[in-house]
Amino acid sequence: MEDFMQAAIERMRDQGAHFCDARRQRIGFLRIIVVDGSVRTLSRDTLGGLCLRARAGGSWGYASCSTLEKKEVLAAADKAAVNARVGTAKGVRIPERKAVQVDFKPKIQKHPDQVPLEDKLSLVVDLDKAQRSDERIVNSNAMYLEQVKDSLVMDSYGSSIKWQEVRGRLMAQSVSSDGQRMEAFYKMVDGTGGYGQFQGTDVGTMGRSCAEEAIKMLKAKKCPSGYHTCITDPLISGLLAHEVMGHASEGDEIVKKRSFLSEVVGKQVASELVTMVDDGTVPGAYGSIPFDDEGTPSSRTTMIDHGVYKGYMHSLETAAEMGVPPTGNGRAESTSRRVFVRMTNTYFEAGDWKLEEMIEGVKFGVLTDRAISGMEDPVGGGFEAQVLRGFLIENGRITDMLKGFAVTGKALEILKTTDAVGKEVRLDGGTCGKGIEDFVPVSSGGPHCRSKAILGGG
């Protein structure tokens, strides 16, 4: 297959491409879902193919094929070269870089391929069963997701980079009811550490704890509305980092002038307590990658350093346009999708505060606990997060549990009011789309952060 890919690269160069690459991928998925004691889903899927990419001037030409025969591969190379040549976009040439030969194997505790399917199913069944410890739990859900992705990228500069990514997630969700209202709570374990990360999880404790928290929420009160002090937990802190600051820091948004952060490099945009990074090298994190889908090594990119905005995430294209090195953020959902600038693990770094100290300093405010969803607004800089639940803080202590509510405001205004940042960083994994499509695995998070924000709903 490598011979076919090299022949395709040579074909695209012969037809006028000043840069081209070939990306072969195979992604295997396993999904197990158990609901109320019944197996609802047990599926294996495989997605694979070859993507050929040619660049002429400022235009890209793409073509893909799923049948990896030489005739089909060369025909796709012809299409990619033609598509690039007919484009009229002006752009900067992709700079040459040193050719590398890499075959990267993930360092994981136990490869999921070594674990029998029966063991994985038993894990999920036990997690579901553990939640049904009280009659007020009216719906129990347990889910196991597994992804093994094999990639090979070859380019016209002579590189050949092969690697594997292994991801997994185990999640419990309990729904409670007292006959008048219903509430839900979830717990999750995820990462790139292999199946071993789940073998260390006591699913009985995880399931029972999830159910207990869902039951407690039946007595939760409504959140106060208005502009108040808000201590965001790591998941909500992560939504602010990812949805607004992260998407607005993607190089293609900057090049196209579609980001409220386009002209702020070197400026103070947040409290000096705030440092924010995108780091695809975090060991075991769900969004970690050894290389991006262009073969660039993953790296750590600092966007905010003690309140000062420093720079953006880049693919080969946006890095060339802005005259900076690529950061390893050129990612694609599959070989049928194009490469965009995408995040990996995006989070605020730790500070010096204990959570107890942060709470003691609040006369009236709230502490958030877990996210439901967030809003992406890279153009306007607005922030909105739907919070699963929270806690009311009065005179330096927690008094009541609060049912779900929204946290909103302008991202930079929230960050400029940040006066305390916690010591412990937590990352939680998921998938991120570029708009409403092109999903890739990521993590977001941070420590607890104390700021001012608008609260409402509930």
* 458 band by pLDDT with thresholds 50, 70 and 90: low
Rg (CA), the chain: 24
pLDDT tens for 379-388 read 999 999 999 9
Whether 12 shows a pLDDT value over 90: the answer reads yes
Q: What is the DSSP string of 180-231?
A: S-EEEEEEEEEESSBTHHHHT--HHHHHHHHHHHHHHGGGPBPPPPEEEEEE
- CB burial string 119-146: b at 16+ within 10 A, e below: ebeebbbbbbbbbbbeebbbbbbbbbbb
* Domains of the chain listed by start with CATH number: 2-219 (3.30.2290.10), 226-456 (no CATH)
pLDDT tens for 341-350 read 999 999 999 9
Residue 1, pLDDT score: 79
The arithmetic mean of pLDDT across residues 169-184, rounded, is 97
Residue 437, pLDDT score: 84
Residue 270, pLDDT score: 98
Residue 416, pLDDT score: 98
Residue 115, pLDDT score: 97
pLDDT tens for 18-40 read 999 999 999 999 999 999 999 99
* pLDDT, the chain, mean: 96
DSSP-derived letter for residue 295 is S
Residue 457, pLDDT score: 78
